[in-house]
Amino acid sequence: MKKIFMFLAVAGLLTFTANIASAQEEGAPAAQEQAEEAEEAIDLFAGSGEEVPLHQALKTKFIEGGAGFMSLIIICLIIGMALAIERILYLAFSKTNTTKLLDNVEAALEKGGIEEAKKVCRETRGPVASIFYQGLLRADQGVDVVEKTIVSYGGVQMSLMENGLSWIGLFISIAPSLGFLGTVIGMIQAFDAIQAAGDISPNVVAGGMKVALITTVGGLIVAMILQVFYNYIIAKIDSLSIDMEDSSIRFVDTLVKYNNKK
């Protein structure tokens, strides 16, 4: 599943990069013409009293913010969202009805012993079933060994659930940083324009200031979107970890009862 989403993300990224490269080959005049056409379209919508379509407004702001920095910010959004969606699906498939699983394991122990309980765990998906299976593999070595195995393998499952989160956090940090970098470059452009014109007027500095503000807004929006998904994933992992700990304790109790009946 992760490979599928990463493949889609890379494919989208390559398509997007190819479009940017082809647009850049047309040169700065073509980009300027596109910006003017987009502004004319917005003026037409404004003059007719109709609402400007969202995609048209976003396209205009993207061109005005500069293809270089805005494309990098969007790349952060694409890859970050691909990783976030992959984690959400992974955690959704990791959810197990632990009460039902414990009942099935207990019934299997009474019916066919350890081997039957192993079969139940093998046929159940999710980290909880995997932890139970590892514990059952060492059931003949005593309850203490089973507890240590559950704790160790629980750490392994936690690492698997948290896999990829560091990359999402990286894109959350990079996106606003790219926006602020665009802000600095926009300010430099504004001061260069002032130096070339020898005059401080709104028309001279407006272009550079506009680039600075648009890139900052783009970076912050991307960071906020990814932060929402990141916090949701963290909350799901916490919920699953609590469920794993609680069910593991009950599993050990079930195993102790089974050993006492033997």
* Lowest-confidence segment of 99-108, 147-156, 177-186, 221-230 by average pLDDT: 177-186
Closest CA to 153 of 60, 68, 251: 251
Q: Percent of the chain beyond pLDDT 70? A: 68
Q: Give whole-number Cα distances, 205 to 4, 104, 210, in Å.
A: 46, 71, 9
Residues 190-211: what's their mean pLDDT?
A: 68
pLDDT digits (tens, 9 = 90+) for 117-163: 889 888 888 899 999 999 888 888 888 888 888 988 988 899 899 99
pLDDT band for position 79 (cuts 50, 70, 90): very high
To the nearest whole number, what is the mean pLDDT of the chain? 76
- The pLDDT value recorded for residue 80 is 94
| Residue 169, pLDDT above cutoff 50 | yes
- The pLDDT value recorded for residue 181 is 82
Closest CA to 96 of 67, 71, 126: 126
* Lowest-confidence segment of 21-25, 51-55, 101-105 by average pLDDT: 21-25
The pTM of this model reads 0.73
* Contacts of residue 112, Cβ cutoff 8 Å, sequence gap at least 6: 119
Query: Encoding tokens for residue 18?
Result: 């190819």
pLDDT band for position 84 (cuts 50, 70, 90): very high
Residues 25-40: what's their mean pLDDT?
A: 44
Query: Encoding tokens for residue 212?
Result: 């600075």
Helix, strand, coil shares of the chain, percent, nearest 5, are 90, 0, 10
- Residue 69: is it exposed, middle or buried by C-beta count within 10 angstroms (0-12/13-18/19+)? buried
> How far is Cα 209 from Cα 257, in angstroms, rounded to an integer?
72
- The pLDDT value recorded for residue 87 is 94
* Lowest-confidence segment of 171-175, 190-194, 214-218 by average pLDDT: 190-194
Q: Percent of the chain beyond pLDDT 90? A: 19
pLDDT band for position 238 (cuts 50, 70, 90): very high
| Residue 18, pLDDT above cutoff 70 | no
| Residue 170, pLDDT above cutoff 90 | yes
> How far is Cα 240 from Cα 147, in angstroms, rounded to an integer?
19
- The pLDDT value recorded for residue 207 is 61
H or E, element range at 234: helix 202-261
Q: Which residue has the higher pLDDT, 140 or 224?
A: 224
CA 255, 257, 259, 262 dihedral sign is: negative
| Residue 242, pLDDT above cutoff 60 | yes
- The pLDDT value recorded for residue 52 is 60
